[in-house]
């Protein structure tokens, strides 16, 4: 593994390997065991969109690993004035040991890989959010022990989170069901790539059918970063695509709830269910740091 661009690029073994290292790093942190694998290494973090969890967890994670992180807002870089990403990649590769980027277009990451010479990590694009889903898988395994035979249901947009969850959940052996309005389901090109897992993957407009006997229910905001101009349209389209009491009633009794945050209470999830399941939701948020530290060690620490 040289980069983390999307979970579709990783094998089941590579995903499990990252999760195992994440568990180990979490244990070491909780027990005060030093794990400074990245002494002298510097990660550049390019942000074209806002962030709380990704920004703080990567910066603190690098610090805990003995390295440094430099935040590079696109507005402060010459990229914001039109310097091509190809040149930015070649320059930053001379200064940094890795780049984490949050941007719109997945192609920006591919350009960084092509023109740069250091590991590139996807901190969210319109296509994928692999760091979030590694944290989700880590949390699911903590609560459910294993992935095989689990039914994982995502209620929401067939966008970056749905794409990454589909690859992540299916590769580790779970069933993955998306409940979404027809026009917001996962794009055909991605569905085509998911064909090897067709026996464990479904999309439906029917929330209750999707949630029936689910072990894990996951949701996300109806309008993601960059879709702010569509908020009203999406509120109409996604009405009813909510984790509420009727959805909880058809899921398994011990169902766990995940939300990548930030949450819009009373839109994609009721306030009561969010608060009743806050422990597992904020465990998931915490696990961002452990999962990403594992990715950083694998990519920047020569632990391939
Ligand atoms: N879930 C997530 O990526 O959070 P941020 O947008 O705060 O980084």
Is the same domain home to 154 and 176? yes
Residue to mutate, 52, 128, 259, ligand 1, most ligand atoms under 8 Å from C-beta: 52
- The rounded radius of gyration (Å) of the Cα atoms in the chain is 19
State the Cα–Cα distance between residues 6 and 295, nearest whole angstrom: 12
Instruction: Give the domain range for residue 87.
Output: 7-128+288-300
Report percent pLDDT > 70 for the chain: 99
Is the same domain home to 85 and 168? no
Is the same domain home to 109 and 175? no
- The CATH number covering residue 156 comes to 3.40.50.1370
Beta carbon of 261 within 6 Å of any ligand 1 atom: yes
Beta carbon of 164 within 6 Å of any ligand 1 atom: no
Is the same domain home to 143 and 277? yes
Query: Does the predicted model carry a pTM greater than 0.95?
Result: yes
Is the same domain home to 135 and 54? no
CA torsion sign for 158, 163, 165, 167 is positive
Chain mean position to CA 95: 27
Chain mean position to CA 213: 24
pLDDT digits (tens, 9 = 90+) for 192-220: 999 999 999 999 999 999 999 999 999 99
Is the same domain home to 102 and 15? yes
Q: Which atom of ligand 1 is nearest to the CA of 131?
A: 3
Considering the domain boundaries, does residue 1 fall inside one?
no
Instruction: Indicate the number of domains in the chain.
Output: 2
- Residues of the chain short of pLDDT 70, as ranges, are 303-304
């Amino acid at each position: 593994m040289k980069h983390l661009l999307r979970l579709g690029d990783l094998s089941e073994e590579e995903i499990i390997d990252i999760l195992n290292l994440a568990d180990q790093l979490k244990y070491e942190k909780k027990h005060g065991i030093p794990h400074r694998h990245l002494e002298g290494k510097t990660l550049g973090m390019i942000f074209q969109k806002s962030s709380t969890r990704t920004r703080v967890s990567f910066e603190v994670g690098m610090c805990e690993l003995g390295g440094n992180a430099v935040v590079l807002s696109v507005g402060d870089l010459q990229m914001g004035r039109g310097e091509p990403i190809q040149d930015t990649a070649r320059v930053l590769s001379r200064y940094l040991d890795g780049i984490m980027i949050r941007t719109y277009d997945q192609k920006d990451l591919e350009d960084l890989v092509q023109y740069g010479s250091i590991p590139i990590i996807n901190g969210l694009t319109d296509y994928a959010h692999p760091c979030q889903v590694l944290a989700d898988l880590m949390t699911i395994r903590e609560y459910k022990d294993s992935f095989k035979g689990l039914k994982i249901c995502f209620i929401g947009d067939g966008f970056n989170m749905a794409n990454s969850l589909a690859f992540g959940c299916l590769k580790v052996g779970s069933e993955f069901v998306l409940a979404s309005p027809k026009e917001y389901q996962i794009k055909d090109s991605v569905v085509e790539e998911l064909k090897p897992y067709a026996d464990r993957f479904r999309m439906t407009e029917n929330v209750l059918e999707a949630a029936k006997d689910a072990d894990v229910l996951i949701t996300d905001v109806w309008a993601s970063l960059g879709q702010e101009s569509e908020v009203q349209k999406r509120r109409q389209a996604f009405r009813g695509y909510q984790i509420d009491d009727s959805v909880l009633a058809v899921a398994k009794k011990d169902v766990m709830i995940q939300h990548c945050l930030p949450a819009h209470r009373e839109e994609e999830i009721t306030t009561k269910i969010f608060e009743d399941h806050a422990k597992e939701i904020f465990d998931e948020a915490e696990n961002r740091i452990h999962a990403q530290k594992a990715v950083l060690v694998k990519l920047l620490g020569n632990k391939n």
